Amino acid sequence: MSANSAIRQPFSNVQLELLKLYSNNVSDEDLLVIKDLLAKYFFEKAKDAADKAWDEKGMNEDTLLKAHSRTPYRKNQ
């Protein structure tokens, strides 16, 4: 390996922060709270992205109901 080639870090920035946190031996109760916080954070982020897309496309309940795109079944004759 040459001096110019960099070693790729196998962990993301989030994984590195979690590894630092878990090196302190977090209790099971705290772990459940942390997992809940992470789940709520990513849920809110996904919901905000969906709301933004909804608004940008001018969607409403009527357009959603009219957007039915399921392929109809063919009747065997």
Whole-number pLDDT of residue 2: 53
Average pLDDT over residues 2-24: 79
Mean pLDDT estimate for the chain: 84
Query: What would the mean pLDDT of 4-25 be, rounded to a whole number?
Result: 82
Domain locations in the chain as residue ranges? 26-66
Residue carrying the six token digits 């009219």: 66
The stretch 48-69 carries a mean pLDDT of: 85
Identify residue 24 by its one-letter amino acid code: N
More confident residue, 77 or 66: 66
Sign of the alpha-carbon torsion through 7, 11, 12, 16: negative
Q: Residue 76: what pLDDT? A: 72
